[in-house]
Chains A and B, each alone.
Chain A
Amino acid sequence: EPEVTQTPSHQVTQMGQEVILRCVPISNHLYFYWYRQILGQKVEFLVSFYNNEISEKSEIFDDQFSVERPDGSNFTLKIRSTKLEDSAMYFCATNSGGAGETQYFGPGTRLLVL
């Protein structure tokens, strides 16, 4: 069964450093999403991406964050200058479109900012 993959599984970085989280979507999916889950809290929507542009973003997704699909396969989330409060599990999700379509989640990247 096709699945969403994410790399790295864990990343430790120093505050102020840039990090790039990578996701490989299911091949025929056109809609891509990033969510995050701070330890012990609920899963929160960050951004949705379709047709090479952002469809919607949350208040969390400020100027420090960016997304792109650089090579037609990977979907990346970049945090330009990490803060302690960016420490969380970041999930990529993809689907074929539509609010009722199942979003398939990757296993996540655990980011720790020191």
Chain B
Amino acid sequence: AQSVTQLGSHVSVSEGALVLLRCNYSSSVPPYLFWYVQYPNQGLQLLLKYTSAATLVKGINGFEAEFKKSETSFHLTKPSAHMSDAAEYFCAVSEEGGGNKLTFGTGTQLKVEL
């Protein structure tokens, strides 16, 4: 069964600082991994996804994530935080034969301070 763990329900960074949001997954087959962002009172927007091509994936708004099979991780990073990055971030996994469903982590609320 697929599952996702996001360490740190709240992360606070200063504007201009590195953003690191952690995601570890469990999957019995090679996974597909996704990061979604949710702004207040809005739906989920895809930031980036890993689908077994390049292990370093670049997404929108300057975010990127690296798939590390040995560590079963897919951490999200951004070199320099901006105030507009304040939102909730969800890591999700799906797998072939799993009915295409997404299994989400518990989310990380990112706060960006001046």
B100 contacts A31, C-beta separation under 8 Å: yes
Q: Which residue of B lies closest to A45 (CB)?
A: B101
Which residues on the B side are within 8 Å of A97 (C-beta)? 100
> Is A108 part of the binding interface, using a Cβ–Cβ cutoff of 8 Å?
yes
A100 contacts B102, C-beta separation under 8 Å: no
Given the contacts A42-B106, A100-B32, A108-B43, A95 and B49 also touching, CB distance less than 8 Å: no
B104 contacts A95, C-beta separation under 8 Å: no
Which residues on the B side are within 8 Å of A106 (C-beta)? 43
The 8 closest A-B pairs by CB, nearest first: A56-B99, A100-B51, A105-B44, A100-B32, A105-B43, A43-B104, A107-B43, A45-B101
> Is A28 part of the binding interface, using a Cβ–Cβ cutoff of 8 Å?
no
0/1 interface trace, chain B 76-114, chain A, CB 8 Å (1 if under): 000000000000001010111111111111110000000
> 8 Å CB contacts to B: which residues of A16-49?
31, 33, 35, 41-45, 48
Contact count band on B: 20 to 34
> Is A98 part of the binding interface, using a Cβ–Cβ cutoff of 8 Å?
yes
Q: Which residue of A lies closest to B92 (CB)?
A: A43
Which residues on the A side are within 8 Å of B43 (C-beta)? 4, 91, 105-108
Given the contacts A55-B99, A55-B100, A91-B43, A99 and B94 also touching, CB distance less than 8 Å: yes
Looking at the assembled complex, report how far the CB atom of B40 sits from the nearest CB atom of chain A, in whole angstroms: 12
A105 CA to B36 CA, complexed, in Å:
10
Given the contacts A99-B94, A99-B96, A99-B98, A45 and B103 also touching, CB distance less than 8 Å: yes
